[in-house]
Amino acid sequence: MTSPADTVVRKGLSPRKRAQRSRLIQYAILIALVLFALFSANWGQIGSVFFKPEFIKATFQDGVLQALVKTVEYTAGAFVIGLAGGTLLALMRLSSVGPYRWIATAYIEFFRGLPAIVVFIAFSLLPLAFEGMTIPFDPYGVVWLALGIVASAYMAEVIRAGIQAVPKGQIEAARSLGMSPGLALRKIVLPQAFRIVLAPLTNDLILLVKDSSLVFIIGVAATGYELTGFGRDLANTYSNLTPIVVCGFCYLIITLPLGILVRRLEARAEKSR
Amino acid sequence: MALVEINNLHKSFGSNHVLRGIDFSVEQGEVVCVIGPSGSGKSTLLRCVNLLEVPQEGQVIVRGEDITDPDCHLDAARASIGMVFQQFNLFPHLSVLTNCAVAQTTVLKRKPEEAEKIARANLDRVGLTDKVHAFPAQLSGGQQQRVAIARALSMDPALMLFDEPTSALDPELVGDVLTVMRKLALEGMTMLVVTHEMAFARDVADRVVFMDGGVIVEQGPPAEVIGNPQEERTKLFLKRVLDPTHVQDN
């Protein structure tokens, strides 16, 4: 008896052998590239431009840690505003009142579609356009507002998805116990929705950490410099890239643990499913 | 006066006319089991009693109050109607104790200590005293459903609705839940139960209602409806349910 598989041509290497050979070739290419880089690069120059020890030391002495703290402060405040605004927008998008839905949709589409830098430029020009206008908590107020406005648009969609992911039976159970819609939302739906979106919200927080670098557009005083502004200023002063590299690593100090946290949260969510 | 009185109830989902004029009542202390093939509208009828489904036509009068009236204080009415769902619908982010206490403190405005005491008493009633601090995900289906019953009982309801409470359970866990329900019935709780458990309906119900095609086909004491059905549709349904291996000869 012949099966259709018997007619398949069997010549040359078996698929497994072929895969093995392909892997070997890939390793060989990689090793060749690394060796080429090792021998062709001018390591002395690279070291002195990017990793000069005296400039690393100077960067710390000039206050890279204060800049790190500023980055965290700008981000944290914007996250709070984004979270509050995002929740409000999410609820508006799910409202039974049409105009609320339209307003929220328009807001979200507008600020999601806009580069964050445009919002920052607009905020930097506000005092020029409206003479004498001040935003409280200078310079924090402007930064938190500009970052928070953009962040709330992103977070609104995440939170909306979270609210909609709470099973309908939960609302029915809450309502059948006599809870009003608002009470059911506060006690039953939102706590579960935030649990669901914890991982994606942390992702938004990482994006926000990086977006805080746009603060230098607004033109804050040197005491208000966050990591990027600080690094750029110092790199200009020394005509050397080392301060920027140090600042770059400082971002990783914030974002890498957050990234690990996201993966943990995702793993936990996967398990409880 | 009947505890629940339903007059000429109609409910459609789109073009699907699910309830086609239901007249029906439940007396104080009565245990009524609603049986019928899937799609017959029995769950929809139950969900109309606390207005989780809003009927297009007809009245639902609970304790003398027409809850289909827009002026009715629906949340207050619902607080006095306990409901147990097929899928339990426990709040997964709250402990067993808080599941039973949260509506007491927020809806009935009971003090936390009082609510906790009542919650513990009702968890004791369903045999879960040792699980008060567990979370729903740590419990078996049967245990979750008993917590759901305790949660509803903690509101001191005048009426309990059960929507296929054992249909989502593993067969060996069904007995625990039915035992709790049987105990409730003996204690005099007014119960409206949508179920496929014919033995439960036969033993516990004061009255059995058979629904098909959105209408009540036949109702009466279990000995009559299940033991000696008059309508052809009831006979056919019972034959299928009581002897699932029976091959229909056309």
CATH architecture type of domain B2-242: 3-Layer(aba) Sandwich (3.40)
- 């992702």: which residue's tokens? A203
Cis amide prior to A167 (ω within 30 degrees): no
Q: Compare CB distances from B78 to A170, A175, A187 and report the shortest one's residue.
A: A175
- Whether residue A188 and residue B103 make contact (CB cut-off 8 A), yes or no, is no
Where is pLDDT greater, at B11 or A237? B11
pLDDT in tens, A239-265: 888 888 888 888 998 899 988 988 888
Q: Is residue A208 within 8 Å of residue A147, measured between CB atoms?
A: yes
Give B228→chain A minimum CA distance, Å.
36
CA distance A210 to A75: 9
Tokens at A27, concatenated = 């390793």
Give B82→chain A minimum CA distance, Å.
7
| Binding-site residues on chain A for chain B (CB distance < 8 A) | 167, 169-170, 172-180, 183, 187-188, 191-192, 195, 272
- On whether any CB of chain A is under 8 Å from the CB of B102, the answer is yes
pLDDT in tens, A61-116: 888 888 888 889 889 999 999 999 999 999 999 998 999 999 999 999 999 888 88
pLDDT at B250: 47
CA distance B197 to A235: 78
Structural domain boundaries of chain B?
Answer: 2-242
pLDDT at A58: 80
- Dump the DSSP string for A42-65: -HHHHHHHH--HHHHHHHHHTTHH
pLDDT in tens, B14-28: 889 999 999 999 999
H helices of chain A, in order, are 15-40, 43-50, 53-61, 64-93, 98-113, 116-129, 140-165, 168-176, 181-184, 190-196, 198-211, 215-218, 227-238, 242-271
pLDDT at B247: 60
Of A248, A249, A254, nearest in space to A208 by CA: A254
Coil, strand or helix: which one is B61?
strand
List, in order, residues 6 or more apart from B146 with CB less than 8 Å away: B126, B127, B128, B176, B177, B180
Give A159→chain B minimum CA distance, Å.
17
Q: Compare CB distances from B89 to A169, A179, A195 and report the shortest one's residue.
A: A169
Q: What would the mean pLDDT of A40-59 be, rounded to a whole number?
A: 83
CA distance A74 to A211: 10
- A207 burial via Cβ count (<10 Å: 0-12, 13-18, 19+): middle
Determine which of A96, A177, A179, A196 to mutate to test the interface with B (most B C-beta atoms within 10 Å): A177
Coil, strand or helix: which one is B57?
strand
Q: Compare CB distances from A195 to B83, B93, B108 and report the shortest one's residue.
A: B93
Using CA coordinates, name the residue in chain A closest to B136. A272
ipTM for the assembly: 0.92
- Whether residue A173 and residue B93 make contact (CB cut-off 8 A), yes or no, is no
pTM: 0.82
How many residue pairs bridge chain A and chain B with CB atoms within 8 Å of each other?
Answer: 60
Q: Which segment of A102-116, A204-218, B189-203 scores lowest on mean pLDDT?
A: A204-218
- On whether any CB of chain A is under 8 Å from the CB of B109, the answer is no
